């Protein structure tokens, strides 16, 4: 079942690539074959990784949350939040891909490790702040308003390059590992509340608060950076243009090491907590360890497939379409990419079922899915428009968009505030953070009027913002339908 979900999330991209290859964007057969092999690795890797998350890493979050609740000491909870948040963020595949792309595009001026460490520190600190919010029953909208005022205050002093990377990092860090782990932690932490009542609302919003740490950390980095001048370079494919398999062999040592670096700290945390707190039976511990093994293998295979074949074709298509005289083609393809990715994204499917459940069926999942996919399609298309029209800058989208998001919080049911801001992370899944990111960067690199460092990033931020706006709008619809239904019942 899991394999089918992942397969159908990648399949639309494969179909679209093959269609474009035989119509308006023909490619070198070597690159196309690498793409198909890379796609197979992405499917296999994501399947194994998600299986590992389900049977190993998410249960670690459940056990840790329960253990922290039993300790009944807030300071222990906050320290644990910082440690766990840091290592979960570092192991997030979407963030690893973004960090690699930033390192590649800036030719090492902004290193991969600096992005991973800084973003993970930011997420860890804000995760602990989210725990405090749950403990003291602070309304989510108040926390988010304060945080985003600080963010846009810092953005005034930020370079355009770092602003785009900062908001992209926020979307990338809330992916297929971080979201289920953070949500599993929140269940246990909610038991620490002073009124001893675990509210349904506490299950939402923690991801949203945590991910703002990614934005803040990059903006602070830019504030104290020695230089704001970055050169952008983007290469495609292997130096051996005739070899189909060589790129896969070349990247094995690098991504094997990165996968160990990502999973090993979490494994150590499990073994330490097993010794001092969990004391699981051998069979239970063996199951968790098996999950960690699956997660490691899956992450390694995924990163190898993404970097050796999958993203190269995204770059190639973006380059080819941006050079066509009729720019409508690339905008239409961008919209289709965003739309089909959201329709097929497994995490989005889970979210839509969840919303249908919490609204008692008032809002059906298809009523959520189609507007969400449409919103994301427009977000990717608008990112391409920003590339084609240099006068349009990222903040022209983000500033009014987030102001509207924050204003809607006062009118949307409070449960939907958390769902909407968490949805920004759910929508920026592994396909968005890989293929669509590569597509936009390819377009920015090839189009003569665009700046790769400025215009090649920011798409993930647009997808996250559009998802928030869509879900808040649906929240208003839910509130209206509930009020109307209540009026009808009273009239009866």
Residue 490 lies in a domain: no
Residue 7 lies in a domain: no
Domain containing 299 equals 12-224+244-485
C-beta separation of 125 from 81 below 8 A: no
pTM of the complete model beyond 0.75: yes
Q: What are phi and psi of 390, to 5 degrees?
A: -60, -25
Residue 492 lies in a domain: no
C-beta separation of 414 from 141 below 8 A: yes
Residue 425 lies in a domain: yes
| Number of domains within the chain | 1
CA distance 173 to 114: 14
Residue 474 lies in a domain: yes
- For the chain, the maximum distance between any two Cα atoms, rounded to a whole number of angstroms, is 75
> Per-residue pLDDT for the chain (492 aa), expressed as one digit of tens each?
656 778 888 888 999 999 999 999 898 888 899 999 999 999 999 899 989 988 988 888 888 877 877 777 778 878 888 888 898 888 888 888 889 888 888 878 888 899 999 999 999 999 888 888 877 788 888 898 999 999 999 998 888 888 999 999 988 887 777 877 777 777 666 666 655 444 445 556 788 888 899 999 999 888 877 556 666 666 665 445 567 888 888 889 989 998 998 899 889 988 988 888 888 888 999 999 999 999 999 999 999 999 888 888 999 999 999 999 899 999 999 999 999 888 877 677 767 776 777 667 777 778 888 888 999 999 999 999 999 998 899 999 999 999 999 999 888 887 778 778 877 777 777 888 888 999 999 999 888 888 888 888 999 999 999 999 988 888 888 788 777 765 445 444
CA distance 117 to 113: 6
CA angle 2, 435, 345 (to 5 degrees): 35
Residue 213 lies in a domain: yes
């Amino acid at each position: 079942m899991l394999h089918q979900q992942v397969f159908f999330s990648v399949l639309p991209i494969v179909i679209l690539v093959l269609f474009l290859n035989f119509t308006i964007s023909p490619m070198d057969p070597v690159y196309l074959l690498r793409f198909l092999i890379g796609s197979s690795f992405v499917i296999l890797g994501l399947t194994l990784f998600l299986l590992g998350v389900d049977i190993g890493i998410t249960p670690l979050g459940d056990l840790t949350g329960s253990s922290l609740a039993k300790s009944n000491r807030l300071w222990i909870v906050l320290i644990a939040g910082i440690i766990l948040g840091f290592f979960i963020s570092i192991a997030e595949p979407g963030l690893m891909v973004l960090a690699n792309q930033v390192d590649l595009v800036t030719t090492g001026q902004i290193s991969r490790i600096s992005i991973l460490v800084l973003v993970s520190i930011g997420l860890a600190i804000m995760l602990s702040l989210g725990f405090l919010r749950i403990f003291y029953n602070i309304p989510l909208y108040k926390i988010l308003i304060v945080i985003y005022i600080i963010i846009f205050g810092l953005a005034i002093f930020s370079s355009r390059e770092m602003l785009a990377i900062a908001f992209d990092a926020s979307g990338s860090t809330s992916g297929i590992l971080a979201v289920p782990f953070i949500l599993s932690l929140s269940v246990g932490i909610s038991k620490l509340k002073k009124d001893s009542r675990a509210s349904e609302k506490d299950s939402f919003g923690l991801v949203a608060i945590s991910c703002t740490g990614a934005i803040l950390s990059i903006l602070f980095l830019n504030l104290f950076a020695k230089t704001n001048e970055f050169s952008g370079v983007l290469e495609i494919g292997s130096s051996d243009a005739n070899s189909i398999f060589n790129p896969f062999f070349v990247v094995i040592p690098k991504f094997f090491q990165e996968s160990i670096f990502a999973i090993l700290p979490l494994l150590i945390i499990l073994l330490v907590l097993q010794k001092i707190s969990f004391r699981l039976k051998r069979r239970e511990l063996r199951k968790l360890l098996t999950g960690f093994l699956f997660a490691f293998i899956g992450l390694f295979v995924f990163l190898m497939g993404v970097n050796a074949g999958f993203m190269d074709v995204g770059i190639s298509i973006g380059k080819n379409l941006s050079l066509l005289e009729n720019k409508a083609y690339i905008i239409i393809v961008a919209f289709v990419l965003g739309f089909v990715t959201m329709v097929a994204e497994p995490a989005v499917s889970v979210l839509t079922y969840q919303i249908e459940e919490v609204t008692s069926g008032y809002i059906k999942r298809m009523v959520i899915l189609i507007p969400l996919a449409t919103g994301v399609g427009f977000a990717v298309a608008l990112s391409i428009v920003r590339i084609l029209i240099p006068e349009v800058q990222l903040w022209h989208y983000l500033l009014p968009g987030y102001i509207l998001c924050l204003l809607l919080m006062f009118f949307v049911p409070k449960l939907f505030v958390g769902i909407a801001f968490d949805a920004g992370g759910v929508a920026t899944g592994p396909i968005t953070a890989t293929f669509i990111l590569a597509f936009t960067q390819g377009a920015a690199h090839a189009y003569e009027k665009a700046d790769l460092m400025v215009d090649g990033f920011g798409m993930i931020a647009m997808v996250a913002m559009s998802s928030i706006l869509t879900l808040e709008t649906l929240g208003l619809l839910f509130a209206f339908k509930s009020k109307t239904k209540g009026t009808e019942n009273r009239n009866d």
